[in-house]
């Protein structure tokens, strides 16, 4: 499938009850078999129309149409990308988008996603996956995020040349791989403006059987649930997942990542269920296994080797750290939390290796540079020591490598962006800012040039508006390597830890640049 066809295979699904005055529900969907009009979408909006909500439990793996309101009406709207965008009055429908009726084949639970989700997103961390809490009638319980719907329209989907949408196994995905998301922000609202909107990002993290759970920093909005996530070149694009939730909050912190379910896991659960597969013979003209076109292409990652980043545990506080030599780790002062020893955990082959680290130096609280240096008591195999960057140009691509959000569950996450600001004082680079999504736990992590993997700096913090109690993950503050690179070289020669005391004696102008760390600011 070509890139220009991605928009055509995404659609909007609307649900309501006939003769009912209640507000209709909508989400995005992805066409998986154009010739038979077969669509996969998120199952969450259907939860309002279940006659017995207790059926959405671990005891059931799928639900048939008889479990839903007999008045349920489903409409699917397909974009017509051949016409230019035209504006329409509120409440009216774009003339060029095609709307057809659809029937529900089944609602089913993706078991691999559910298992990995429950392991990754611990209840104690207070995760939340939707922003519209005002709609209390709609079930927003995280238990239903693993449910998906199979729909069939009454006619085939035009404009797509392939008999079925080519898809790819997620087993070959790697962190940092570029992805493309396609969905319709706000669902059925303002279709002329938002239907089949594209967003680019990278794979931030993966977990579960055959990477059933995917996290990406491709920016999506409410209503894109059920949309598709794709990989590949412009002439060879493959579906890899379905958007589950465009928003993730941990407690009250917006994480800035999109939650995706592997399409391989979705199809596996369809095939696994014998009763459901029998129904699908009427949806797909031949057995499901042969009708779904999986790519046999071997996926080759072009991600550069990034520095080794470890999890730093200091009592109840944890963050990230960057190995800058085979024995030394740089992190933040607030991560070591005043301790003399910490635990360093290195993620390798899906396991963590724990090492005790001695805190050699921490800057004083009065220093604008929130830095600490840790010495490992034992060595770690296969540590990637970073090359220090020499260029720090605004607009250059950057990647943050750290343990933000996911913590100790599945290794460091990657988020992409650009250098949005480079601030100098007397020709000395003293602060970087990026648009990469940074969360609690990423402090002390690495900021690298995306293509070369060179270390640009260390994550210090993101931005929080204390008055509004809002966190902004895409505006963050970075300590450039120019601040500590020379001191590391001196320490390597002299073995005198006192060389780092220079960081405590910074000039007033530098402190002014970092003034938002002070308690008097609302940020």
In a domain, 298, yes or no: no
Q: What is the pLDDT of residue 507?
A: 87
CATH number at residue 500: 2.40.10.120
In a domain, 179, yes or no: yes
d(CA 150, CA 178): 28
Q: Are 325 and 445 in a shared domain?
A: yes
Question: Which segments of the chain have a pLDDT < 50?
Answer: 85, 87-88, 132, 134-139, 298-300, 520-523
Which of 265, 283, 301 corresponds to the end of one domain? 283
The residues near 157 (Cβ < 8 Å, ≥ 6 apart) are 8, 9, 31, 34, 37, 78
Q: Are 426 and 504 in a shared domain?
A: yes
In a domain, 226, yes or no: yes
Q: Are 215 and 318 in a shared domain?
A: no
Which of 98, 88, 91, 95 is CA-nearest to residue 31?
98
Which of 469, 449, 227, 477 is CA-nearest to residue 369?
477
In a domain, 331, yes or no: yes
In a domain, 351, yes or no: yes
Count CB-CB contacts under 10 A for residue 359: 22
Q: Are 330 and 384 in a shared domain?
A: yes
Q: Are 364 and 442 in a shared domain?
A: yes
In a domain, 34, yes or no: yes
Catalytic residues: 334, 370, 443
In a domain, 523, yes or no: no
Q: Are 124 and 266 in a shared domain?
A: yes
Count CB-CB contacts under 10 A for residue 443: 28
Q: Are 254 and 313 in a shared domain?
A: no
Q: Are 452 and 487 in a shared domain?
A: yes
Q: Are 369 and 484 in a shared domain?
A: yes
In a domain, 143, yes or no: yes
Which of 478, 438, 482, 486 is CA-nearest to residue 458?
478
Map residue 375 onto helix, strand or coil.
strand
H/E element holding 107? strand 98-109
Which of 215, 211, 206 is CA-nearest to residue 244?
215
d(CA 505, CA 368): 10
Instruction: Find tokens 């020893």 and name the residue.
Output: 341
91-122 core/surface letters (b: 16 or more CB in 10 A; e: else) = eeebeebeeeebebbbbbbbbbbbbbbeebbe
Q: Are 133 and 237 in a shared domain?
A: yes
Q: What is the pLDDT of residue 5?
A: 85
> How many structural domains compose the chain?
2
Q: Are 215 and 338 in a shared domain?
A: no
Q: What is the pLDDT of residue 50?
A: 87
Q: What is the pLDDT of residue 500?
A: 96
d(CA 499, CA 496): 6
Q: What is the pLDDT of residue 385?
A: 94
What are the distances in angstroms from CA 298 to CA 172, 203, 262, 301?
8, 17, 17, 10
First to last CA, the chain: 46
d(CA 159, CA 363): 61
Beta carbons of 165 and 32 less than 8 angstroms apart: yes
Q: Are 344 and 218 in a shared domain?
A: no
What is the edge-to-edge ordering of all strands in the sheet holding 249-250?
127-128, 249-250, 253-254
Domain of residue 195, residue span: 3-80+97-283
């Amino acid at each position: 499938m070509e890139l220009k066809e991605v928009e055509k295979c995404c659609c909007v699904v609307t649900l309501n009850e006939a003769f009912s005055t209640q507000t209709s529900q909508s989400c995005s969907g992805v066409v998986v078999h154009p010739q038979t009009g077969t669509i996969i979408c998120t199952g969450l909006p259907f939860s309002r129309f279940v006659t017995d909500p207790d059926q959405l439990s671990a005891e059931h793996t799928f639900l048939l149409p008889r479990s839903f309101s007999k008045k349920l009406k489903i409409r699917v709207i397909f974009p017509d990308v051949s016409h230019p965008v035209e504006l329409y009055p509120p409440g009216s429908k774009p003339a060029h988008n095609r709307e057809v009726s659809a029937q529900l084949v089944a609602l089913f639970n993706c078991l691999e996603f559910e298992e990995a989700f429950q392991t990754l997103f611990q209840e104690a961390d207070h995760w939340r996956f939707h922003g519209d809490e005002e709609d209390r009638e709609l079930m927003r319980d995280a238990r239903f995020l693993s449910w998906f719907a199979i729909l069939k329209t009454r006619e085939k989907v035009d404009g797509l040349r392939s008999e079925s949408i080519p898809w790819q196994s997620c087993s070959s995905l790697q962190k940092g791989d570029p992805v493309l998301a396609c969905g319709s922000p706000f669902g059925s609202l303002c279709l002329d403006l938002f239907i089949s909107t594209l967003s680019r990002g990278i794979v931030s993290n993966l977990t579960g059987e055959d990477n059933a759970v995917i996290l990406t920093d491709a920016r999506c909005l409410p209503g894109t649930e059920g949309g598709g996530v794709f990989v590949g070149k412009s002439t060879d694009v493959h579906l890899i997942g379905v958007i589950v939730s465009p928003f993730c909050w941990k407690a009250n912190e917006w994480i800035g990542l999109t939650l995706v379910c592997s399409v391989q896991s979705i199809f596996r659960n369809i095939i696994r269920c014998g009763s459901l597969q029998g129904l699908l013979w009427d949806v797909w003209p031949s057995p499901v296994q042969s009708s779904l076109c999986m790519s046999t292409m071997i996926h080759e990652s072009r991600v550069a080797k990034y520095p080794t980043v470890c999890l730093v545990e200091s009592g109840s506080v944890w963050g990230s750290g960057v190995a800058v030599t085979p024995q030394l780790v740089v992190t933040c002062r607030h991560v070591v939390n005043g301790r003399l020893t910490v635990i360093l955990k290195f993620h390798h082959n899906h396991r963590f290796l724990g090492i005790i680290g001695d805190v050699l130096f921490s800057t004083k609280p009065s220093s604008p540079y929130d830095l600490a240096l840790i010495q490992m008591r034992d060595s770690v195999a296969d540590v990637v020591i970073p090359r220090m960057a020499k260029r720090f140009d605004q607009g250059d691509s950057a990647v943050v490598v750290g343990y933000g959000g996911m913590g100790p569950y599945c290794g460091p996450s990657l988020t992409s962006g650009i250098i949005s600001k480079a601030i100098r004082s007397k020709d000395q680079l003293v602060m970087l800012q990026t648009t990469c999504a940074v969360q609690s736990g990423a402090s002390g992590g690495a900021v690298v040039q995306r293509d070369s993997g060179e270390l640009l700096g260390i994550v210090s913090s993101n931005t929080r508006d204390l008055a509004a109690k809002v966190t902004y993950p895409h505006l963050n503050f970075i300590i450039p390597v120019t601040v500590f690179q020379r001191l590391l070289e001196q320490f390597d020669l002299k073995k005198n830890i006192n060389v780092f005391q220079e960081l405590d004696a910074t000039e007033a102008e530098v402190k002014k640049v970092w003034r938002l760390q002070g308690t008097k600011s609302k940020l």
